[in-house]
Amino acid sequence: MSFESLGLSADILRAVSEQGYSEPTPIQRQAIPVVLAGGDLLASAQTGTGKTAGFTLPMLQRLSTTPPVAKGRRPVRALILTPTRELAAQVGENVREYSRYLNMRSLVVFGGVSINPQMMKLRGGVDILVATPGRLLDLMHQNAVDISTVEILVLDEADRMLDMGFIHDIRRVLAKLPPRRQNLLFSATFSDEIKALAEKLLDRPSLIEVVRRNTASEQVSQQVHFVDKKRKRELLSYLIGRDNWQQVLVFTRTKHGANHLAEQLNKDGITAAAIHGNKSQGARTRALADFKTGAVRVLVATDIAARGIDIEELPHVVNYELPNVAEDYVHRIGRTGRAASTGAALSLVCVDEHKLLRDIERLLKREIPRLALPGFEPDPSIKAEPIQNGRQGGRDRRPGGGGQGPRGQSSRKPGGDNGKPRMNTGSPRPPRRSQGPKKTERT
């Protein structure tokens, strides 16, 4: 099946072709006809399988071929809600790319940046608004945006929004929308909470589930290496140097842990940057841009980035620390092996994390293959300790979107760079055991 067979217009097909796509993915093949027909949709697919185009392409088709219901200046006809700033920016970029040859205006709004330029652009009218819930509510409070004209509502990564506590914000947004509209709910998983939301939001929806819930992509090779907690950074630096990894996304549980690891990697001569909820939007944008261009070799992230980073052919994902919730493991490793690419995911597991690993393998319904490097064997005399994972289990509940604090006002402190990275020679460090009882920080 080709995109031409799905009934998309020539202008949209031209834009799709220029992005290098010729055949729709399974979620696109099933979702596009449903959206074009105007019905509500509840869709689930693995991360990285093309969900964004699955709703963007038919949405653009419908908006470009029908006049707006509301009169006057350009009304907001489509609203796309996303949980994080990074995901909002990614979706907004896709909307712009696919609408290149259409008479459509789109805008992305999120917190962490000045609200005034966003208000100015809204005054000129936009057809498609991509927003995080907190910033959207803030704009609504200031009467800068009217969503009573929305014809199509999209909840993207809805499970993540619920997990991050945005359900009350979502309800406040829904209360301002017109009763008659098309609703599209896209999610990486079909949790019970998602099904409950769908029952209240959707009207006789079509149901699409490309794969069973919480399934890791078969295009991602997974491995586990058991290692003492205090030697994880040494092992990570050794592997990056030995195998000459040039682009590695590394996940930690906490913001402090991300900052500390990035600093340590830079001291090892490996260019690294951290991205998490306490970083200013400028710092987050620079870090992600540098990572995409190769100026930064390692991007250390908290789970805020698990669904908001879309990098073509990202080769390596490392779980420096396992997530507290098993489902987040699937979303983390889903940053690699996207579309038709393959990727590798490595988890560095200390004795404290054995239960977390068992939870993940129970979710996957299989054991993850073990990797062992001589010289990095764990010390069997070390006993497991409780994981100190910070506020709310270490999960970033305030990642983006202006969803922090009253009316989406950000309470983050601006973050900066981690200092000047030294040049990396790429030469592997030989494995060695740490000498003496060195004090380490709990993550």
Q: 208 pairs with which residues across the strands? A: 43
Q: How far is CA 247 from the centre of its chain?
A: 17
Residue 100 CA to residue 104 CA, distance in Å, equals 8
Q: In a 3-state reduction of DSSP, which class is residue 253?
A: coil
Q: Do 329 and 363 meet the contact criterion of CB atoms below 8 Å apart?
A: yes
pLDDT for residue 340: 58
pLDDT for residue 408: 38
Q: Do 3 and 30 meet the contact criterion of CB atoms below 8 Å apart?
A: no
Q: Edge-to-edge, what's the strand order for the sheet holding 152-155?
A: 106-109, 128-131, 78-81, 152-155, 182-187, 41-44, 206-209
Domains of the chain: 3-209 (3.40.50.300), 220-408 (3.40.50.300)
Residues of the chain with pLDDT under 70: 46-48, 72, 211-217, 304-308, 337-341, 388-443
Residue 88 CA to residue 84 CA, distance in Å, equals 6
pLDDT for residue 292: 87
3-state secondary structure 380-438: CCCCCCCCCCCHHHHCCCCCCCCCCCHHHCCCCCCCCCCCCCCCCCCCCCCCCCCCCCC
β-strands 248-251, 298-301: how paired? parallel
pLDDT for residue 386: 87
pLDDT for residue 278: 81
pLDDT for residue 217: 62
